């Protein structure tokens, strides 16, 4: 198993697990069905309690200065790979325990359940669960096209890639083909290539050059 196998398997939720948020501060964002998260973890690691599990570390409340009271939960998520359990993967979630509405303060008797669900989702993000949603690449119907590069490459990075390409006697089209065939690089090659992947790209260029030699 490579380092990216789990991430790639979990990164894109199906359209049926997504719902557009309309209204409020989160309007325009995408809500992910919590049950899909559990299904995805079960598919990848096995049933809850056997292949993955979680521990509620802490539950607490915090006052906001008004009548609103916030509830929070901290959990540890564990996944089993082979015969070994992972180190704890932490996640924190929150929700309103007491919300102020037009009629006055309103208690939420499901606040802690919602906090725990939120915390599990936060922890699972570290494994790549629904990564394309959080990265703004997928909204349930199409992949987004970034308006700007994710980050700019330094001149030294560009020079390094160019030097490797020329040494391998490859064309620019060959480099773009490498990017498109390798999903861990980027969705819009080569414009949003992450700098952390420059070394991997250079290695891929060298390998293609050897194969063509």
What is the Cα–Cα distance from 25 to 42, expressed in whole angstroms? 32
Q: Are the CB atoms for 92 and 74 separated by under 8 Å?
A: yes
Tens digits of per-residue pLDDT, 4-58? 889 888 888 887 877 766 555 555 567 788 899 999 999 999 999 999 999 999 9
Domain boundaries, the chain: 5-134, 155-212
Q: What is the CA radius of gyration of the chain?
A: 22
Place of tokens 């069905």: 33
Q: What is the pLDDT of residue 73?
A: 95
SS (H, E, C) 90-137: EEEEEEEEEEEECCEEEECCCHHHHHHHHHHHHHHHCCCCCHHHHCCC
| Domain 5-134: CATH architecture, name and number where available | 2-Layer Sandwich (3.30)
Q: What is the pLDDT of residue 56?
A: 97
Q: What's the whole-model pTM score?
A: 0.61
Tens digits of per-residue pLDDT, 131-184? 887 777 755 544 444 443 334 455 666 777 778 888 888 887 777 776 666 544
Compare 209 and 88 and report the one with higher pLDDT.
88
Q: What is the pLDDT of residue 172?
A: 74
What is the Cα–Cα distance from 2 to 118, expressed in whole angstroms? 28
Highest mean pLDDT out of 7-21, 123-137, 180-194, 199-213: 123-137
Number of H helices, E strands in the chain: 7, 7
Q: What is the pLDDT of residue 196?
A: 45
What is the Cα–Cα distance from 119 to 113, expressed in whole angstroms? 10
Tens digits of per-residue pLDDT, 58-114? 999 998 878 889 999 999 999 999 999 999 999 999 998 998 887 888 889 999 999
């Amino acid at each position: 198993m490579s380092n990216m196998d789990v991430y790639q398997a979990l990164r894109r939720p199906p359209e049926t697990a997504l719902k557009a948020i309309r209204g409020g501060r989160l309007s325009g964002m995408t809500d992910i069905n919590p049950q899909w998260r559990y299904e995805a973890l079960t598919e990848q690691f096995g049933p809850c309690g056997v292949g993955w599990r979680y521990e509620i570390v802490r539950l607490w409340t915090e006052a906001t200065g008004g009548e609103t009271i916030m509830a929070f939960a901290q959990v540890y998520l564990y996944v089993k790979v082979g015969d070994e359990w992972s180190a704890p993967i932490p996640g924190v979630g929150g929700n309103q325990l007491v919300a102020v509405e037009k009629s006055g303060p309103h208690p939420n008797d499901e606040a802690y359940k919602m906090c725990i669900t939120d915390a599990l989702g936060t922890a699972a993000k570290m494994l790549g669960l629904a990564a394309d949603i959080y990265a703004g690449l997928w909204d349930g119907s199409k992949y987004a096209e970034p308006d700007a590069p994710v980050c700019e490459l330094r001149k030294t990075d560009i020079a390094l890639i160019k030097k490797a390409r020329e040494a391998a006697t490859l064309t620019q089209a060959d480099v773009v083909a490498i990017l498109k065939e390798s999903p861990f690089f980027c969705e819009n090659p080569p414009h949003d290539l992450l700098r952390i992947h420059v070394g991997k790209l250079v290695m891929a260029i060298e390998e293609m050059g050897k194969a063509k030699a």
